[in-house]
Chain A
Amino acid sequence: MAHVSVPMYWRTIPQRYQMMGQKCKKCGAVNFPPKGVCKYCNASSEFEELQLSGKGKVHTFVLIGAGGAPPEFADQMKAGGSYPVAIVELAEGPKVIGQMTDVNPKDVKMGMPVKAELKKIYTEEGVIRYGFKFAPDLEGK
């Protein structure tokens, strides 16, 4: 059973591969992931595309343990053990959820600087789903 179909995944490539955000033409706030109507002013659906830096800080995080992973992440759990997931406050303003990568789970801290990197999310129907995860931003320190 596919959880997110291939066409559905493909439509979000600008977000998952490039972190393409929307800057509201009315209030100037940045939406990511995209909305039909700006979630900040709730008054405009006119946006310009904005390439986000992918940089941000950990707003909150969880360490997913055995039993806490969705089925499509079970192999990752089996192979690599507990993995961290964070809500990251991006430099441009919006918050977004993503897995943490290139880090020992015990080293994840509130407020730590992170940077988006392309990683494998999971494989389903033989298709590797690539997308951003957050790695410690060593230069951002």
Chain B
Amino acid sequence: MTAGISGYNSYVPRLRIKKEDYAKAWGSFQAAGVSEKAVMSFDEDALTAASRVSKRALESVPMAPAKVTRFAFASTTAPYLEKLLSGTVLVNVGMPNSAFTTDHTTSTRAGTEALVSGIEHVKASPGGVAVVATADAPRASMWDPLEHPMGAGAAGFVLSSENLIAEVEGYASFAMEHFGERFKPAGEGTLQDLNVKKFFASAFTTCTTKACASLLKKLGTKPEDYAHVVIQQPDAKTPGSVAGKLMFNDAQMASGLVSVNLGDLGAASTTVGLVAALDAAKVGDRIIMISYGSGAGSDAVSLKVVSDRKPVPSFKDQLEKKEYIDYIQYVKLKGALK
């Protein structure tokens, strides 16, 4: 059965901080290619952002929340370590209590985990409708340069077999054992990273290229068939280094490189990138998204655009609606002074 995206949209918080403010505070800004990043306000978190994008995605179809049969939430910064998270969004949006809900929270791959699980639901259940909400505002210690690229954003999708904007052609995964990169041990609140850069870069490359290659092989597509390529963006430079190995060029990467303006969006990195690419795409365009989560694994998803219906507000409009804060305000909002 054909399954794909019937509606989508993103949420970009209005607050931004510029790289210059980081440089002023710390002497340097260690987030390659990122010029500014989005910041959640005091009254926001992954769940409020997930609610926002779920509603926006449903409105873009438009589809009544009562028709939803599956809801998947993804984030690495869930407000609780133990407690069902999806219920908050389910009730706020007005989706039925009987919908099967899942929370995907343990790596930055969570966004595509949720997306793929939603597609699998639609394929397996005739008439099924899945809402996928990915929202993240990754955080680390303010003393750790790892914190520099961390931004905030969310993307939501309505998946079904009708009224499609983009058809999901296929997906492939690659998972392996790996450690020491971006991890949060049980009982410790702070993100850690052993900073063995080359070693971690090899895991990123292995997972993304293997998942991508296996998908291209499965579909019989070639790199040049894709008008838009979205690869996990821990900063704005890393995805480019992998793209070269996969024979993708900068032009293919341009539409979905959201980290330049928003920073690392964690579990929402490739999904917000996908929203940006969908906004820019023409009917007939192919899009490939390749996520990465430390630990480690990747999902690659191939889509084909079949309608030029675009949601409001557009990703670009949201990008332009912003208000800058300085580093002191940033630290206060992030709660680091508590």
- Docked complex Cα distance between A130 and B79 (Å): 12
Give the Cβ gap from A75 to chain B, nearest Cβ, in Å.
8
Verify A78–B332 contact, CB threshold 8 A. Answer: yes
- A130 touching B48 in the complex, CB below 8 Å, given contacts A80-B333, A101-B41: yes
B104 within 8 A of A: no
- Docked complex Cα distance between A7 and B41 (Å): 27
- Docked complex Cα distance between A118 and B133 (Å): 14
Which among B51, B80, B313 is the interface contact of A138 at CB below 8 angstroms?
B313
Verify A76–B42 contact, CB threshold 8 A. Answer: yes
B47 within 8 A of A: yes
B91 within 8 A of A: yes
B189 within 8 A of A: no
Verify B91–A76 contact, CB threshold 8 A. Answer: no
Verify A133–B91 contact, CB threshold 8 A. Answer: no
- Main DSSP-derived SS at the A contact region: mixed
- Chain B interface residue count, Cβ-Cβ cutoff 8 angstroms: 22
B14 within 8 A of A: yes
- Docked complex Cα distance between A75 and B338 (Å): 9
Which residues of A33-75 have CB atoms within 8 Å of chain B's CB atoms?
Answer: 51, 75
Which among B51, B79, B323, B335 is the interface contact of A118 at CB below 8 angstroms?
B51
Give the Cβ gap from B301 to chain A, nearest Cβ, in Å.
28
- A18 touching B94 in the complex, CB below 8 Å, given contacts A118-B51, A130-B88: yes
Verify A17–B332 contact, CB threshold 8 A. Answer: no
A79 within 8 A of B: yes
Verify B92–A102 contact, CB threshold 8 A. Answer: no
The 8 A CB mask of B43-84 against A (1 = contact, 0 = none) is 111011001100000000000000000000000000110000
Verify B312–A101 contact, CB threshold 8 A. Answer: no
A120 within 8 A of B: yes
- Docked complex Cα distance between A124 and B30 (Å): 36
- B interface residues (Cβ-Cβ under 8 A, vs A): 14, 41-45, 47-48, 51-52, 79-80, 88, 91-92, 94, 312-313, 323, 332-333, 335
